[in-house]
Amino acid sequence: MNRFPLAGKTAVVTGGAGGIGFAIASRFAHEGASVVLAGRTQSKLHAALSQLQEIKPWTPPQPQAHSTHCLDVRTPRGWASLVEAHKKIDILVNCAGETQHSLLLRLGEEEVDNLLASNLRSAILGCKTVGKQMTARHSGGSIINVSSLLAYRAAAGTAVYAAAKAGQLGLTTALSQEFARSSIRVNAIVPGYIETDMTQDLANKTDLMKRIPLGRFGKASEVADAAAFLAKNDYANNCILNLDGGLSAV
Ligand SMILES: NC(=O)c1ccc[n+]([C@@H]2O[C@H](COP(=O)([O-])OP(=O)(O)OC[C@H]3O[C@@H](n4cnc5c(N)ncnc54)[C@H](OP(=O)(O)O)[C@@H]3O)[C@@H](O)[C@H]2O)c1
């Protein structure tokens, strides 16, 4: 068995400074990848990088060099700076995102635009910019979009977030065809409720847990398992992987 299946690969994880993104970054590092933690807050990125650099359980066959890249994923300029600084990206995980806190009628236009930009435009720009680099390098690649169960099981108070996350699934399916000729696989993870900062202040947490067949929120490490599978499995393309404790069934 290959203990370092991602050795020699460079993986960019947006939203990599914490929560699900950091769990994915850590898993990739354990499997031998060099990871670029991408996000918008330099101090959080540096703290996360220090933790990542402590992951040295074995000596991988190829040296690892983890790093950070500060960008706003909503902007083409941010993505341009990323591909300029990192000329060999093998795996992209679009994990950065922001959640919604109000009903649609109470959201200002700026908040609507921001939710669409941080959850959907970001992923579109990431796929376009990094996909272009991967195509030019003829190296193939793997892109993973972190969507949400709310994409198809939306609830009151999630309209714009849910619409953006549903858009990510459309993006994934379209690009799994457009990019396949360049051996770039495009997949999505659809988490239910996961224990992170994003869900820590949910008012109705106990009620939500009762609705989940497994009776609990998921762990970020469990989402990372899914990302590792999608990054490695060469036949996974347009694989839309639910991780919701069974909530999608009820
Ligand atoms: N937790 C859940 O239950 C759950 C369920 C389904 C889907 N998801 C999705 O999973 C992903 C990760 O969520 P999480 O729970 O790990 O949340 P989190 O801990 O809040 O992480 C979100 C990350 O995205 C970064 N980010 C947000 N906007 C950005 C921007 N414009 N440019 C660069 N970075 C930006 C944040 O950076 P700062 O900290 O610097 O703001 C943060 O590191 C999100 O896409 C979320 O929608 C989460």
pLDDT tens-digit map of 125-158? 999 999 999 999 999 999 999 999 999 999 999 9
Classify burial at 197, counting beta carbons within 10 Å of its beta carbon; exposed 0-12, middle 13-18, buried 19 or more. exposed
Distance from the alpha carbon of residue 20 to the mean position of ligand 1, in angstroms? 8
Residues catalogued as catalytic:
161
Q: Is the CB of 245 under 6 A from ligand 1?
A: no
pLDDT score of 2 more than 90: no
pLDDT digits (tens, 9 = 90+) for 8-63: 999 999 999 999 999 999 999 999 999 999 999 999 999 999 999 998 756 767 88
Mean pLDDT for the chain overall? 96
Collapsing DSSP states into helix, strand and coil, what is residue 36?
A: strand
Give every strand in the sheet of 67-70, ordered side by side.
Answer: 67-70, 34-39, 10-14, 91-94, 141-146, 184-191, 240-243
The ligand 1 atom at the shortest distance from the C-alpha of residue 191 is 6
**Count: domains in the chain:** 1
- Does residue 148 lie in a domain region? yes
- Does residue 49 lie in a domain region? yes
- Does residue 187 lie in a domain region? yes
CATH number for the domain harbouring residue 121: 3.40.50.720
Show the domain range for 29.
10-249
- Does residue 4 lie in a domain region? no
Q: Is the CB of 17 under 6 A from ligand 1?
A: yes
Query: Which residue, among 67, 24, 27, has the nearest Cα to 49 in the 3D structure?
Result: 67
CA separation for the pair 195, 202 (Å, rounded): 11
Distance from the alpha carbon of residue 209 to the mean position of ligand 1, in angstroms? 21
